[in-house]
Amino acid sequence: MLRTHSAFAVLLLSALVVPVLPAFPAAADAAGPGAVCDHQPVVHPTAPAGAVVVDPAVDSDLGTKTRLSPPGSTFWLAPGTHTLGTDAFGQVIPKDGDVYLGAPGAVLDGRGVNQAAFTQLAKDVVIDGLTIQNFVAPQDQGVVNHDSGEHWIVENSTVQYNRGAALMAGVRQEVRHNCLRDNGQYGMNAYRSGNGITGLIVEGNEVSGNNVDDWETRSPGCGCSGGIKFWSVNGADIRGNWVHHNHGAGLWADTNDNDFLIENNLIEDNDAEAIFYEISYNLVVRDNVIRRNTLVSGRARAARGDNFPAATIYLSEAGGEPRVPARTTLIDIYDNVFEDNWSGVTLWENADRFCNSPANTSTASCTRLVADPASCAAPGITTAPLYDDCRWKTQRVEVHDNTFAFDPAHLGCTTGLCGRMAVLSNYGTYPAWSPYKGTAVQEAITHDQGNYWFSNTYRGPWTFVAGDTSRTLTPEQWQAVPYYQDDCASFDGVTPRC
C-alpha cells in the first residue's frame, strides 16, 4: 500500500513551533553550540545593591543565611569555597523568589558529605553563576532542586562531580548555559512525582561525561543512566545544547513524555543512543548534528552476536498521537545530519508490552489514553477501543530530508550489524490473555501505522530491517513492494526516484 506523508501535519507544526535557530556547521569538531564547560562568562563580579553577601571566610553556612532572610532575598556568594552543615543533610532550603548569584570563583562544595545542595518546594528560585560540586545524592535523586520546585531558573552554572543527578526538574524549569558534567548518574533527572513536569526548557548547556557510576552495570535493566532522563514531561524544548561523551544515552525520554522539540543540538560520542524516546508521544527532532553515537553499545551487541538493530535514534513503543495535545501529531525527524553513528533510526514495538502486561517494565504506568488501567484486561482488551488504547504504538513516524553517512572502517564494524535502519517488532507470546500474539504487531508497525521514510540522503553501505530481525533488505528492496519506503531518497549520489 502506497503511503503519503502528512503534509497538513507538517504545515500545522510550522505554524505552531518556535522559529528554527541557525544551525552550526556540521564540520565543527572542537566544540558544540553549548560549549560552556570551563568557558562560563563572568556574570556577577560584584554584589548587587541590597544583596545578602555570603563570604566563606566569615559565614560558615549558606543554609543558615537563607533561613534568617525573608522570601525573595538575593544572595551574593563571594569568591571561595562555601560549605553547608557537617552531616548528610546539610542543605539550603530556599524561600519563594530567592536568588543565588555566584561571584567568579564561588564554589558550593558538598565535600563528599552533603547529599543535596538546594532542596524543598519554593517557587521562582534563581541560581546563577555558581559551581556546585562533590555532593553525594542517592540513586535517582538530585543535588539542585532536589524536590522539583516550580519554575526554578538555573543558568551560567557548573554542576559537576556529584553522585546521583546534578539537577532535578520542576514545572516550567529553565536550564540555560550550564555545564553539567561528570556526575554519577545524570546531568539532569527530569522527574517529579504526581502530575509530572510541564513547560521544561533546556537550552545552550553542555552535558557531558555523566553516568560515571555506570548504573546500567550496577543495576541491569534499571533504565537509569545517561546525559538527561525525562519522565512524564509534557512539553519540553531542548535546543542548542552540546550533549557528548555520556556513558549511556545522550537524551532519554521514558514513560508518557509528550510534545518534545529537540533542535539545533550537537549530540556526539555518547556510548548508547543519541536520542531514546520510549513509551511516549509526539516529538520533533530537527536541525541537529548527530555523530559517533552508539559505538560502545553497538560494538558490544555485535560482539555477543546480538543482531538487534542498535540505533542512534531509538523509538520504542513511541509515536504520534492526535488525541494527546501537542504541537505536532507526529514523531517528525527531519533536516538532521547523521555522521558515523553505529546505525540510524530504529522503530521498535514490543508486542508483549502494554498496560497490565507482566512484560511492561514500567509496571505502574498505562498509556495516556486509558483512564482506568485495570480495564486493560480480558475480555475487554480484545475489542475497541481498548485493543488500540491499551498499547503504546510506534506509529505516525516520519523520517525525511536527513543526511545519513557512515564508513564501516571508522566504526570498526566488520559484521554487517552497523549502518542499519529498522522498523520491527517481536512475535507476540505473553501473557496468555494477550490479544497481540503472533505477528499482529509486526504487521501493524511495518505496514499499517503510518511509519514512513522519504527524501533522505544516504552515503555508505546502508541496509534495512523490516518486520523482524531476520529480514535484512537492500535499498532497492526497502523501496519496493511491500515496504514502499524512502521514495525520493538518494543512495551514494544516485539520482532519487520519485
For residue range 454-464, what is the model confidence (pLDDT) as tens digits?
999 999 999 99
Query: What does DSSP say about strands 397-400 and 331-334: parallel, antiparallel, or unpaired?
Result: parallel
Instruction: Give the bridge partners for 347, in sequence order.
Output: 315, 423
Per-residue pLDDT, averaged over 323-348, amounts to: 98
Domain for residue 478, yes or no? Answer: yes
Domain for residue 184, yes or no? Answer: yes
pLDDT confidence bin for 15, thresholds 50/70/90: very low
Per-residue pLDDT, averaged over 309-332, amounts to: 98
- Side chain identity, residue 239: R
- What is the spatial distance between Cα 58 and Cα 54, in angstroms, rounded to a whole number? 8
Domain around 348: 7-491
- Kindly state the cell numbers that stand for 96: 519563594
Torsion angle of the four alpha carbons 259, 263, 268, 270, in this order, in degrees rounded to the nearest 10: -10
- What is the spatial distance between Cα 194 and Cα 170, in angstroms, rounded to a whole number? 11
In this prediction, residue 369 carries a pLDDT of: 97
In this prediction, residue 71 carries a pLDDT of: 98
For residue range 83-125, what is the model confidence (pLDDT) as tens digits?
999 999 999 999 999 999 999 999 999 999 999 999 999 999 9
Domain for residue 497, yes or no? Answer: no
Domain for residue 496, yes or no? Answer: no
Residue 1 reports pLDDT greater than 50: no
pLDDT confidence bin for 213, thresholds 50/70/90: very high
Q: Which residues in 396-408 are b (16+ Cβ under 10 Å) and which e?
A: bbbbbbbbbbbee
Q: How many residues does the chain have?
A: 498
Q: List Cβ neighbours of 465 (8 Å cut-off, separation of 6 or more).
A: 309, 420, 421, 422, 423, 424, 471, 472, 473
Residue 204 reports pLDDT greater than 70: yes
- What is the spatial distance between Cα 296 and Cα 281, in angstroms, rounded to a whole number? 28
Domain for residue 37, yes or no? Answer: yes
Using only C-alpha atoms, the chain has a radius of gyration, in whole angstroms, of: 23
Residue 439 reports pLDDT greater than 50: yes
Q: At which residue does the C-alpha cell 540505533 appear?
A: 311
Domain for residue 498, yes or no? Answer: no
CATH number of the domain that residue 111 is part of: 2.160.20
- What is the spatial distance between Cα 231 and Cα 56, in angstroms, rounded to a whole number? 37
In this prediction, residue 31 carries a pLDDT of: 54
Which pTM does this prediction carry?
0.93
Q: At which residue does the C-alpha cell 500500500 appear?
A: 1
Residue 65 reports pLDDT greater than 80: yes
In this prediction, residue 364 carries a pLDDT of: 81
SS3 of residue 422 by DSSP: strand
Domain for residue 440, yes or no? Answer: yes
Domain tally for the chain? Answer: 1
In this prediction, residue 477 carries a pLDDT of: 97
For residue range 253-283, what is the model confidence (pLDDT) as tens digits?
999 999 999 999 999 999 999 999 999 999 9
Per-residue pLDDT, averaged over 395-400, amounts to: 98
Q: Under a CB-based contact definition with an 8 Å cutoff, are residues 341 and 292 in contact?
A: yes
Per-residue pLDDT, averaged over 232-260, amounts to: 98
Domain for residue 93, yes or no? Answer: yes
pLDDT confidence bin for 32, thresholds 50/70/90: low
Q: What percent of the chain has pLDDT over 90?
A: 87
- Side chain identity, residue 95: K
